[in-house]
Amino acid sequence: MLRFEVVVCFFLAIVVADAYQTCERVQNVFNVCHRGGILSEVTEQYRTKRLIIQDVNLMSIQAGAFKNLAIEILYIRGQHRLSILEPRSFSGLPNLKALNFNDNTITLRTNLFEELTDLRILRLTGNNINIIPVGTFNGLSKLSELYLDQNNVSITTPNTFTGLSLLHLFLNRNKLASIVPGYFAGLNELRSLHLGYNNLREMRTNTFNGLNKLKYLNLNDNKIGTIHAGVFKRLKKLTELNLENNVISDIGPGAFKGLLALKTINLNNNKIVTLPNNLFYGLTQLVDVYMLNNYMTKFNKAELQLPYSARIHR
């Protein structure tokens, strides 16, 4: 009888141990193991470029879980609840160039991605992110695209993006009400900045300092009421400015001064009654001015110093 009980207990121990860690074959290449919602180990049978982990209901990634994989693209998506990530969660991914972490609930931390030194694209859309700590993106010197849209970011801190060489930054659909000076410091290579669908009420004159190569600025669907003089004066490479669907009623003289490369400006769906004389002086490249659904009754191109060939859409 005693021998039988020992055998039964040993058998049950094996069953419990196996149930504690579950391993799955993914894409016929990877062995993905997890226990209690924690991604514990990922190994590969042979080299391939992409790994998709989905529908595993993960909550965390164990430090060192990725065992020196050769992948360049990693998707972690589906019905995950990923919220707990620590530095070294992404160690073992020396060749990773694109990380898609959309639709989780992660909390950002300093140095979280520091080991992904070859990363070019980082997608963090829809993660309920409230705060972006300074130093979160340390080590990502090659990053060119950063997606932080559809989150709950409301607080801005100077030097948040210092050390990055971004070309495209997406902060649309957050809860930004204002932007502190120096928030975009160091983004000297940025080409497009997306700030639509926030709660922005005004732009300070030094908000966009340093964005010398910016070509596209999207500020649509905010609560901007006034455009102050000189707010865009340093954006000499900007070709498109979108201010559609705000509550703009006051545009100061010289508001668009310095936009020497501007080709398109969208002011549709605002509350503009009049524009100051010479508003577009020096904007010789301007092609299209969109003024649909405002309160203006007349539009004198000569008084506004619009180029002769520029088109007014109203």
Q: What is the model's pLDDT at position 79?
A: 62
- Asked if pLDDT for residue 11 goes beyond 90, the answer is no
Q: How far apart are CA 37 and CA 259, in angstroms?
A: 52
Q: Categorise residue 65: left if φ over 0, alpha if ψ from -120 to 50, beta otherwise.
A: alpha
Q: What is the model's pLDDT at position 297?
A: 87
Q: Which residue has the higher pLDDT, 14 or 204?
A: 204
What distance lies between CA 260 and its chain's CA centroid? 27
For 172-217, the three-class secondary structure string (H helix, E strand, C coil) is: CCCCCCCCCCCCCCCCCCCCEEECCCCCCCCCCCCCCCCCCCCCEE
Percentage, residues of the chain above pLDDT 90 = 83
Enumerate domains of the chain plus CATH numbers: 22-117 (no CATH), 153-314 (3.80.10.10)
Instruction: Kindly report, residue by residue over 239-248, the tens digit of the pLDDT.
Output: 999 999 999 9
Q: How many CA atoms lie within 13 A of 198 on its CB side?
A: 28
Q: What is the model's pLDDT at position 13?
A: 35
- Asked if pLDDT for residue 4 goes beyond 60, the answer is no
Q: What is the model's pLDDT at position 141?
A: 96
Q: What is the model's pLDDT at position 257?
A: 93
- Asked if pLDDT for residue 155 goes beyond 60, the answer is yes
pLDDT band at residue 17 under the 50/70/90 scheme: very low
Backbone angles phi and psi of 61, in degrees to 5: -125, 120
Q: What is the mean pLDDT of the chain?
A: 91
For residue 140, give Cα distances in angstroms to 173, 185, 219, 269, 293.
24, 16, 26, 39, 43
Instruction: Kindly report, residue by residue over 70-116, the tens digit of the pLDDT.
Output: 999 999 976 667 888 888 999 999 999 999 999 999 999 999 999 99
- Asked if pLDDT for residue 136 goes beyond 80, the answer is yes
Predicted TM-score of the model (pTM): 0.91
Q: What is the mean pLDDT of residues 141-153?
A: 98
Q: What is the mean pLDDT of residues 300-313?
A: 93
Percentage, residues of the chain above pLDDT 70 = 93
For residues 259, 263, 269, 275, the Cα torsion angle rounded to the nearest 10 degrees is 50
Q: What is the model's pLDDT at position 56?
A: 80
Cβ contacts of 32 within 8 Å, gap of 6 or more: 23, 24, 25, 26, 39, 41, 42, 53, 56
Q: What is the mean pLDDT of residues 30-54?
A: 94
- Asked if pLDDT for residue 15 goes beyond 50, the answer is no
- Asked if pLDDT for residue 9 goes beyond 80, the answer is no
Instruction: Kindly report, residue by residue over 190-239, the tens digit of the pLDDT.
Output: 999 999 999 999 888 889 999 999 999 999 999 999 999 999 999 999 99
Instruction: Kindly report, residue by residue over 163-193, the tens digit of the pLDDT.
Output: 999 999 999 999 999 999 999 999 999 999 9
Q: How far apart are CA 293 and CA 240, in angstroms?
A: 20
- Asked if pLDDT for residue 33 goes beyond 90, the answer is yes
- Asked if pLDDT for residue 19 goes beyond 70, the answer is no
Q: How far apart are CA 220 and CA 148, in angstroms?
A: 17
